[in-house]
A and B are shown apart, each in its own frame.
Chain A
């Protein structure tokens, strides 16, 4: 087929919404390359999902359908997608950079002697038809960006970071739906996946908190947490944290904000000693206002902060607590 192929992600008939961001990226890439974009859904009886895609501006919608694909396994997806990509021979294969994609896409690329360009934040295009696109990804947890180029023959596999393309930019149109039935045998699937579950102890709901004070590794040690607790108390805010704080057991995991924790959108989010790695940002960038306190002026958190202080949290936070208490009278 050549052109661009976008892998859409679904579970039990419900989309992972990041798929539509990848779809928008795929449509834009195809337009720049002067080619067409198609989309593929993997699963069992995902007819209504492929029908939904039939109203998008796509060359074709493919439904890869097999009973062994009813729930996700790396082995099942890899075997099915390898056959499909071989048959269709797209120039580019785009994925949303989800946890599932992390699980199989690197190995899919390996089967084509390719390397997935993972977690891409921007696609830049050269002028004219010369020059292949440049894929920008982050290094050092967002402190540095890098240009990557695909330099070999064969499909170019790319996954796009959450929130970097807008799903509302997906263009409408019409497309026909085609089913692809892969050759799959039960023995090929070596792992047995269980049903997704949540830890039952989830008793803190940060998603509706109007004010959040969130603490990161910059706090240094557990004993210093009281500093941010006092600020939270003064503001009447919920206390939240980045992953390392919960990993250390300093705060319970249910207070973790980010891709594997809670997603929050308070009126005010105060980030104290948090660098702003993407996995944290996806959980809080819907906040109405963000105040960041960090000693490193290049910390990525300042990318999305409305208000910022470059300084030592141990000097700033106690003063701020005092000033808030005074203001409240």
Chain B
């Protein structure tokens, strides 16, 4: 079975949030980047499916500037077989449909049995790219998936619903799943894996040129305005603790 995993490189979680000069994104100069968290779970699921099946191939794909190669390389070190870097320096000016299109173009040629994406990116939080990609490729999809089981010629997946509910869904292959975090335990890259990754194929392809103007545009970013008045405690840890206890006693009345 051939599995393609779309992974996105995103700023690390504790990235400093300074608005860039053009007002449309944050200043990237002192950011560190990492794999989008649900995508790490998507990769893990793909690797486990391959291991269970005994044969097959896991191909990781990422669209972005040159720096994304480090994230692809890490995926190779964890066990992916090949990587495709879709060179794209203008991700920010493409909307979801534009990004899904360049992914679709690159993935189509691979004709995979299964495509996995993360359910949502930590930076843009759109939660859409996988679903749009499935639509462009004309294959069935399911979202927010915790578990994947191969079932004859198709799949049985466990889909997360709200409030602690779940649902099983069966579907034929090829299909696309958007993976939720927590379904598996993530592996670390071994030294051996890191060494092996160096000789694995990383193909660079040009991004499909944008065919349409974006349907929606991000005009500006801004820091959220605080709406609630929070009473802040300052001082030494002991002083802070004393102030909190005071509040818990006389205002919240739980002590």
Contact = CB atoms under 8 A, between A and B. Distances in A.
Interface of A: 74-75, 98-99, 102-104, 106-107, 109-111, 113-119, 134, 137-152, 154, 156, 190-199, 202, 210-211, 217, 235, 243-244, 246-247, 249, 253-254, 259-263, 267-268, 275, 288-289, 291-292, 296, 298, 300, 302-311, 315-316, 318-320, 322-324, 326-328
Instruction: Name the interface size band of chain B.
Output: 35 or more
30 contacts: A74-B140, A74-B142, A75-B140, A104-B131, A107-B141, A111-B135, A113-B212, A113-B215, A115-B95, A144-B17, A144-B221, A144-B222, A145-B224, A152-B215, A154-B215, A191-B170, A191-B171, A194-B168, A196-B166, A247-B182, A259-B163, A263-B163, A303-B226, A304-B228, A305-B228, A307-B230, A307-B244, A307-B247, A308-B230, A316-B240
B53 interface: no
Given A140-B123, A303-B226, A298 B254 contact: no
A144 B166 CA distance: 31
A309 B233 CA distance: 5
Contact of B241 (A147, A211, A244, A320): A320
B164 A323 contact: no
Contacts, number: 261
A139 B221 contact: yes
A197 to B, nearest CB: 6
A141 B125 contact: yes
Given A138-B125, A319-B238, A197 B167 contact: yes
Most-contacted residue by chain B among A75, A146, A195, A210 (CB, 10 A): A146
> Would you call the interface of chain A mostly helix, strand, loop, or mixed?
mixed
Nearest to A244: B181
Given A102-B127, A260-B160, A197 B230 contact: no
B132 A309 contact: no
Contacts of A327: 245, 248-249, 255
B217 A149 contact: yes
Nearest to A283: B163
Contacts of A324: 245, 248, 255
A86 to B, nearest CB: 16
Interface of B: 11, 13-15, 17, 19, 26, 95-97, 100, 119, 122-128, 131-132, 134-136, 140-144, 160-172, 180-182, 185, 212-224, 226-228, 230-234, 237-238, 240-242, 244-245, 247-249, 251-255
Nearest to B129: A106
Nearest to A16: B162
Nearest to B131: A106
Most-contacted residue by chain B among A110, A138, A304, A316 (CB, 10 A): A110
A328 B123 contact: no
A194 B127 contact: no
B218 A198 contact: no
A323 B223 contact: no
A93 to B, nearest CB: 13
A147 B218 contact: yes
A289 B128 CA distance: 35
A291 B244 CA distance: 9
Contacts of A134: 219
Most-contacted residue by chain B among A104, A106, A192, A316 (CB, 10 A): A106
A141 B252 CA distance: 29
Contacts of A288: 252
Contacts of B132: 106-107, 109-110, 115
A283 to B, nearest CB: 9
B168 to A, nearest CB: 4
A319 B11 contact: no
A322 to B, nearest CB: 7
Given A118-B126, A296-B14, A319-B237, A191 B169 contact: yes
Nearest to A158: B216
